[in-house]
Amino acid sequence: MFSIFRSLWQYRHFISSSIRNELISRFARSKLGGLWMIINPLAQVAIYALILSNILAAKLPGLDSQYAYAIYLMAGLLAWNLFNDIICRCLNLFIEQGNLMKKMSFPRITLPAIVMGSCLLNNLLLFIAMLGIFALLGHQFSATMLWLIPLTLIVAMLAMGIGLILGVMNVFLRDIGQVVPIILQMLFWFTPIVYPIIIIPEDYHHWLNLNPMYPLTDAYQQILVYGNTPQWDGVLIIAAVGLLLAGASLFMFRRASAEMVDAL
């Protein structure tokens, strides 16, 4: 296991340059460049806010701003987009990089590390854009936003653990690549992001305990919307689950690395 981290450190310049080259190549012929990374999620926020703001804004306790729903929505999507992006990119990572894995000798663990770095950078740029929108809307900032640093790492660790396991499995069973996006779409609507939890009957609240993203999106919303310190009980449980999944995914990846090359 320590050899994995040693390889990541030895190839750190390769990882950082790959992240940079990926961002440059993705928007090389685009007039707006990297702005598309934040335009797409913000457009999604605008659509939901336009359709649902008048209906759901009154359902948000403790908020009387006309932009309350948009702020609530952006907070939840900030967490969800990072989770979803890492899993979706890891899902087909080894299939897409199959030729590279066959032709070149390099630590394979650098591939998910590049995905992780790229997704975290995208999320940071989206967060900066959201802060600018919050300022335009007159939303107050607070020191509790610093809690977003460990929360972001927990979301990334959980997503990488799940994504790496699914990515390895997808090499041998391609149906996983078709099923996972459907499950993620269901999980998105099962998470109080577009709607507040208050509209769910209390008899069904216990089902949210099965959703690993609910404590995390709720923590983001408590910090960004209300300026409150999140409830760490649920978050720490998810952090422990994420740590176990990350360890299991690294073990699985190491054991299956050679077989993946043959299968590809």
What does the longest C-alpha to C-alpha distance in the chain come to?
A: 59
Whether residue 60 is predicted with pLDDT greater than 80 in this model: the reply is no
> Are the C-beta atoms of residues 217 and 192 closer than 8 Å to each other?
yes
Interval 134-187: pLDDT, tens = 888 778 788 899 999 999 999 999 999 999 999 999 999 989 999 999 999 999
Which residue has better confidence, 59 or 203? 203
Residue 100: count other Cβ atoms within 10 Å of its Cβ. 13
> Above 60 in pLDDT, residue 3?
yes
Q: Which positions ≥6 away from 119 have C-beta within 8 Å?
A: 82, 85, 86, 89, 156
Cα angle at 85 between 79 and 87, to 5 degrees? 105
Check residues 26 and 177 and name the one with the higher pLDDT. 177
Domain boundaries, the chain: 2-263
Contact status, residue 193 vs residue 217, Cβ threshold 8 Å: yes
Average confidence score pLDDT of the chain: 85
SS (H, E, C) 67-114: CHHHHHHHHHHHHHHHHHHHHHHHHCHHHHCHHHHHHCCCCCCHHHHH
| Position 57 confidence tier, pLDDT thresholds 50, 70, 90 | low
Token couple for 154: 């927990």
Residue 39's pLDDT band, with cuts at 50, 70 and 90, is: confident
Tokens of 157: 């660790």
User: How far apart, in whole angstroms, are the C-alpha atoms of residue 137 and residue 133?
Assistant: 6
Lowest-confidence region among 95-109, 162-176, 187-201 = 95-109
How many percent of the chain have pLDDT more than 90? 38
pLDDT classification of 27: cutoffs 50, 70, 90: low
What's the rounded mean pLDDT across residues 92-121?
A: 84
| Contact between 173 and 88 (Cβ < 8 Å) | no
State pTM to two decimals: 0.89
